[in-house]
A and B are shown apart, each in its own frame.
Chain A
Amino acid sequence: MRLYDALLRLYPASFRAEYGEEMRRLFARRRRDAQGAGAVAALWLGTAFDVAASALRTHLDILRQDLRFAARALSRAPGFALTAILVAAVGIGAATASYSVLDHVLVRPLPFPGADRLVDLWENDTEHGYGRTELSPANYRDWKSAARSFDGMAAYTIRSSNLAGEGTPERLEGAAATPELFGVLRVRAALGRVLTADDGRPGAEKTVLISDALWRRRFGSDPDVLGRKLLLDDAPHVVVGVMPPDFRFPGRDADVWTPLAFGASDYEDREDCYLKCVARLKPGVSVEKVRTEMRLVAAQLERAYPKENRRIGATVLRLRDEIAPESRWLLMALFGAAVGVLLIGCTNLASLLLARAIGRRRELAVRTAMGAGRERLVRQLLTESLVIAACAGAVGVLLAAAAGPLVARLVPNALPIAENPPLDLRMLAIAAVLTAATGIGFGVVPARRACREAAGANLHEDSRTGSGRATERLRAALVVAEVTASIVLLVSSGLLLRALWKLQGTDPGFRSEGVLALRTVLPMPRYEKTEERQKFYDRVLTQARGLPGVTHAAYISFLPMVARGMIQSVFLEGHTDGRDDGLASLRFVTPDYFAAMGIPVKAGRDVAPSDTAASPFVAVVSESFVKRYWPGQGALGRRFRFGQADRTVVGVVGDVRVRGLEGDSEPQVYVPSRQVPDGNYIGYVPRDLVIRSAVPAATLLPELRQIVAQADPLLPVSDVRPLSDLVASDTAPRRIQARALAAFAAVALGLAALGIHGLLSFTVSQRSREIGVRMALGATPRDILEMVLGRSAVLAGAGALLGGVLALGAAFAMRALLAGVSPADTATFGAAIGLAAAMTAAGSALPALRAVRVDPVTAIRTD
């Protein structure tokens, strides 16, 4: 019988109370009638089925009833329903959107089989303070043969190329990779094959592997693309395969992969470092173990080549961790803020539900008195809370999806993942469960208590006493929590905004207004000779300067903030021990570059057309270069060895933030483009064209394209943008994040105002009789106002104090993001507290007005 009792527990309690006893008796009789083991077994089987089926149906009946009831109850209180759903939806949406991007960028395995065993290998140069630098082919070869911990190792280098032929020439991003790359990543071609060792052999036909995107764009998804030829950098390349759409290596804009192979001459210069290296760990080998091994390998090489490999170590990083710390911080801060919004939303929901539960005490008491079981009432309220949570979840998904394009811009370009993170349903579920738990905790528990009290109590009982007061205290605590959280969010977003403004106010060293930039990359070997290139530059620049409104035009190898590296050793005159004196960034320029960029010439002169290979080699250096190497002395006429030649300083110019507005940049050295020896530095030759004009840059573009096409019809024009965009994109992730945080803070502020408004309205209506009595006894409206506002001021004050302390902690935690703004920035804290005060005033206004308008006579007569 005990088993049967246990089965009966499957029914709702109300059903059990009504019919349980009779069902037990019925079952007992059947059990007595059943003779023999077979009959007994059949009885149990039938009974279990009977109970399970009918219990399920009973529950479904009740659910249907409760859903109808909840829909009716919520539609009778649309204000409550809408507010509750929106409040929770905003939290759910924010948390889901920000976690989706966090998971996509930081957590989810990269889209390669066994991605957790993939690592990047870098050299590190402790002497000059660089943690990750590229490898030379010789060091790559030696690392590869010495290391034992890897299943495979591959090298690649970013190589973009000009695609000519049918249609407009196009600039394609991509990589040249050793054939091991595809085995290390464990990827196959979707069509055709990947690159093999045969592809790179000397004398072999040039081959190329193309991306799915390029295949669709350029070949209209033609399945017969294999074997067709692409004209890349003037050379025909046979298409051997098409990669699957989710293959985005090394970054998501890669379109072509060509073979990379080394000949004997490539191994000669150990300081010619241009290789990136990716490897797959053997199963069971930890990253720590590999780090130890690579340290030993690097030390061995340093002993073998003490000059070239001096203090060169090895850095091993998981491919997954190949993400800038700022990006990581930005995402974490964003997620933290979103969780804050979710918690505030839940707090507000709790407050709303508490108020509703109190407001419903009488209704519940009536229904209890009419015989409704407490269990049934609680279950109905539970359903109501769950309906709110479900609606909020649905609206939250819509909000998260709408926020998708915004957060997608926080996905770093350099990771081999898609740009748009998929919505993370786990986070959605967690957020919805949290909302539902809030609904249950704050909607059902007080209602249950109210029912219990009401069960035997007087229906006329005034709800001001007992649990009413306790609830009010709880709601006051919730308001304090909301103010606290909004202060934390306000301060965080305020500090990030200050940091952003500070960076945006940073002088990049050049004037970007009115400057258009575009790129034309001269293909090699056609332009190997310096003279050939110079003809092109001269022709384009002369014609460009002839366009109406153009004041200056020049070429440079790489614009600042575009390529941040290209760092060379500086050897001052008279040093002979072979060790360098420091590093500087190298750029080749044509005359007029400084004028075009608005970089001030502080002393001496610009590079000139007369600075040719036949004349003495010269250089223009930045002020920081002079400060570092010849402090307090004149620099003009001084000599130093840099970029494979001895050079004389002929000019000094202002500093430029080559590495972006944040962080430090190396001193800069500019070398005339005519003084590049033939076939040297072919990756560094000028390619970025800058035009300063008095007319809108966009109007020049068609003519500029024509000028380039006339100079070389096979040459694509790419990366067209105003220089101001370049500067703006340097702070773009911060802008997005500051905006998102500010939006979160605004939402939090609004929610807190709503919370204060709700609490005070409730208090005022609960205490209207007391207010009436006070007024009858001679209290002035001013006294009443002081009573109501005093209360909100106390709550807001407590929240501000607590929030201030927590915000200070948060600010110190994210100091890395503040770009030098003090974590205890007074202005920010002051503004946050001011906003919180304004919010409190706004939330208190209506209830205070209502309190003042209480009519003593009516109030005292109530009840």
Chain B
Amino acid sequence: MQDGDVSGGTALPLPPATFHILMSLAEEDRHGYAILQDVARRTRGAVKLGPGTLYRSIQRMLEQGLVEETRERPAPEDDDERRRYYRITPRGTAVARAEARRLASLVELARSSGLVPRKA
């Protein structure tokens, strides 16, 4: 069932949704809706996570220790009392880095095969 590298118990490659969420949280702590918006903005609308995919991913990421719920809240005027905020853990950062490295070396391989145009 597990394919690819295993980084501290988390199987690589990461599911795309998980990687997107980690990238979004690497910047700052966010609540669910903010993650969705951020992912859409970064990918210029190419990736639109649904709420179901988002929260199922978050549930798994919590179990795997990639993210945590945070008790520190932003300024009160930005905050909705009912929202939960998520923060990337050091382990989450390490796993995201490992995934980024994996992807980069993959792209490097593709480039040496002439599949990716070199930048001028």
Binding site for B on A (CB under 8 A): 11, 15, 18-19, 21-23, 25-27, 29, 46-47, 49-51, 53-55, 57-58, 61
Closest to A55 in B: B52
Contact A54 B50 (CB under 8 A): yes
Shortest CB distance A674–B (Å) = 86
Chain B 83-108 interface residues, beta-carbon cutoff 8 Å to A: 83-84
- Please state if B52 and A54 are interface contacts (CB–CB under 8 Å): yes
Q: B residues within 8 A CB of A15? A: 55-56, 59
Across the interface, do B84 and A23 meet the contact criterion of CB distance under 8 Å?
Answer: no
- What A residues does B48 contact at CB under 8 A? 46
Chain B residues engaging chain A, CB cutoff 8 angstroms: 32-33, 36, 48, 50-56, 58-60, 82-84
CB neighbours (8 Å) of A49 from chain B are 50
Please state if B36 and A26 are interface contacts (CB–CB under 8 Å).
yes
| Chain B nearest Cβ from A672, distance in angstroms | 85
A51 near B55 (CB under 8 angstroms)?
no
A58 to B58: give the CA distance in the assembly, Å.
Answer: 11
A50 touches B52 (CB 8 A): yes
Besides the known contacts A19-B59, A26-B36, A51-B50, 7 further A-B residue pairs in the complex with CB atoms under 8 A apart: A19-B58, A21-B82, A22-B82, A26-B32, A26-B33, A47-B52, A54-B52
Alpha-carbon distance between A57 and B50 when the two chains are bound, in angstroms:
14
Pick the 5 closest A-B CB pairs, nearest first: A50-B50, A54-B52, A19-B55, A54-B56, A23-B51
Q: Are B52 and A22 in contact (CB under 8 A)?
A: no
Q: How far is the CA of A511 from the CA of B94 in the complex (A)?
A: 92
Query: When A22-B84, A50-B50 are in contact, do A57 and B59 touch as well, CB less than 8 Å?
Result: no
Q: Closest CB-CB distance, A850 to chain B, in whole Å?
A: 44
Q: Which residues of chain A are within 8 angstroms of B50 by Cβ–Cβ distance?
A: 46-47, 49-51, 54
Look across to chain B and name the residue whose beta carbon is closest to the beta carbon of A46.
B50
Q: B69 to chain A: closest CB distance in Å?
A: 11
B51 to chain A, nearest CB (A): 4
B59 touches A29 (CB 8 A): no
B56's nearest neighbour on chain A, judged by CB, is A54
**How far apart are the CA atoms of A58 and B33 in the complex, in Å?**
20
User: Across the interface, do B33 and A25 meet the contact criterion of CB distance under 8 Å?
Assistant: yes
What are the residues of chain B within 8 A of A21 when measuring CB–CB? 82
A51 to B83, CA, bound (A): 21
Q: Output the least CB separation between A558 and chain B (Å).
A: 69
Complex: chain A residue closest to B17, CB-CB: A54
What is the CB-to-nearest-CB distance from B35 to chain A, in angstroms, rounded to a whole number?
10
Q: How far is the CA of A25 from the CA of B59 in the complex (A)?
A: 18
Q: Is the CB of A23 within 8 A of B33?
A: no
CA distance A839 to B19 in the complex (A): 65
Q: Are A23 and B55 in contact (CB under 8 A)?
A: yes
Contact residues of A: prevailing secondary structure: helix
| C-alpha gap A18/B33 in the complex (Å) | 16
Are the C-beta atoms of A29 and B82 separated by less than 8 Å? Answer: no
Shortest C-beta distance, A23 to chain B (Å), equals 4
In the bound complex, CA of A29 to CA of B33 (Å): 9
Residues of A within 8 A of B58 (CB): 19
* CB proximity of A45 to chain B, nearest CB, Å: 11
**A58, closest chain B residue (CB):** B56
On whether the beta carbons of A50 and B51 are closer than 8 Å, the reply is yes
Contact A23 to B52, CB < 8 A, known contacts A18-B59, A58-B59: yes
Return the chain A residue nearest B1 by Cβ. A64
CB distance from A609 to the nearest CB of B (A): 88
Contact call B51/A26, Cβ cutoff below 8 A: yes
Whether the Cβ atoms of B56 and A57 lie closer than 8 Å is yes
Judge whether A22 and B53 touch: CB under 8 Å: no
Q: Determine the distance from Cα of A61 to Cα of B50 in the docked complex, in whole angstroms.
A: 19
Chain A CB within 10 Å — which of B52, B53, B59 has the most? B52
Say whether A51 contacts B52, CB under 8 Å.
Answer: yes
**Once the chains are docked, how many angstroms separate the CA of A23 from the CA of B51?**
6
B12 to chain A, nearest CB (A): 18
- Nearest neighbor of B50 in chain A, beta-carbon distance: A50
Q: How far is the CB of A564 from chain B (nearest CB, A)?
A: 66
On chain B, the residues within 8 Å of A54 by CB distance are 50, 52-53, 55-56
Q: List 28 A-B contacts (CB under 8 A).
A: A11-B52, A18-B55, A19-B59, A21-B82, A22-B32, A22-B82, A23-B51, A23-B52, A23-B55, A26-B33, A26-B36, A46-B48, A46-B50, A47-B52, A49-B50, A50-B50, A50-B52, A50-B53, A51-B50, A51-B52, A53-B52, A53-B53, A54-B50, A54-B52, A54-B53, A54-B55, A55-B56, A57-B56
Bound Cα distance from A15 to B33, whole angstroms: 18
A23 closest partner in B (C-beta): B51
Q: Which residues of B contact A61 (CB under 8 A)?
A: 60
- Given the complex, which residues of A lie within 8 Å of B51, measured CB to CB? 22-23, 26-27, 47, 50
A153 CB, min distance to chain B CBs, angstroms? 65
Residues in B with CB closer than 8 Å to A50 are 50-53
Task: Give Cα distance in the complex from A49 to B48, angstroms.
Answer: 13
A487 to chain B, nearest CB (A): 51
Report how far A50 CA is from B36 CA in the complex, Å: 13
Instruction: List, in ascending order, chain B residues with CB within 8 A of A18's CB.
Output: 55, 59
- Most chain B CB within 10 A, of A26, A27, A50, is at A26
Q: Which residues of A contact B60 (CB under 8 A)?
A: 61
The distance in angstroms between the C-alpha atoms of A449 and B34, with both chains bound, is 42
CA distance A309 to B87 in the complex (A): 101
Q: Which residues of A contact B83 (CB under 8 A)?
A: 22
For the complex, give the distance between the alpha carbons of A11 and B53 in Å.
Answer: 12
CA of A46 to CA of B54 in the docked complex: distance in angstroms? 13
Complex: chain B residue closest to A50, CB-CB: B50
| Closest chain B residue, CB of each to CB of A29 | B33
Residues of chain A lying within 8 A (CB to CB) of residue B36: 26
Residue numbers in A under 8 Å from B55 (CB-CB): 15, 18-19, 22-23, 54
The smallest beta-carbon distance between A64 and chain B, in angstroms, is 9
Q: Which residue of B lies closest to A54 (CB)?
A: B52
The CA of A23 and the CA of B58, in the complex, are separated in Å by: 12
Residue of B nearest to A52 (CB): B52
CB distance from A583 to the nearest CB of B (A): 77
User: Which B residues are CB-close (under 8 A) to A29?
Assistant: 33
A271 to B58, CA, bound (A): 91
Q: Note all chain A residues with C-beta closer than 8 A to B33.
A: 25-26, 29
Min distance, Cβ B91 to any Cβ of chain A, angstroms:
20
Task: Give A61 to B33 CA distance when docked, in angstroms.
Answer: 24
The interface residues of chain A lying within 8 Å CB-to-CB of B84 are 22
**A25: which B residues are within 8 A, CB to CB?**
33, 82
Rounded to whole Å, the gap between the CB of A12 and the closest CB of chain B is: 10
Q: Enumerate chain B residues within 8 angstroms of A11, measured Cβ to Cβ.
A: 52
When distances are taken between beta carbons in the complex, the residues of chain B under 8 Å from A46 are 48, 50
Closest Cβ of chain A to B83, distance in Å, is 7
* Distance from B47 Cβ to chain A, minimum over Cβ atoms (Å): 12
Min CB distance, B17 to chain A, in Å? 9
Chain A: CB-nearest residue to B31: A22
Query: Closest CB of chain B to A300's CB: distance in Å?
Result: 78
Residues of A near B54 (CB, < 8 A) are 26
Q: How far is the CB of A682 from chain B (nearest CB, A)?
A: 76
B32 — which chain A residues lie within 8 A by C-beta? 22, 26
Q: How far is the CA of A558 from the CA of B31 in the complex (A)?
A: 95
How far apart sit A21 and B82, CA to CA, in the bound complex (Å)?
9
Q: Could you tell me the distance between the alpha carbons of A25 and B80 in the complex, rounded to whole angstroms?
A: 11
| Chain B residues, Cβ within 8 Å of A23 | 51-52, 55
Note all chain B residues with C-beta closer than 8 A to A19. 55, 58-59
Chain A residue at minimal CB-CB distance from B57: A54
List the B residue with the shortest CB-CB distance to A11: B52
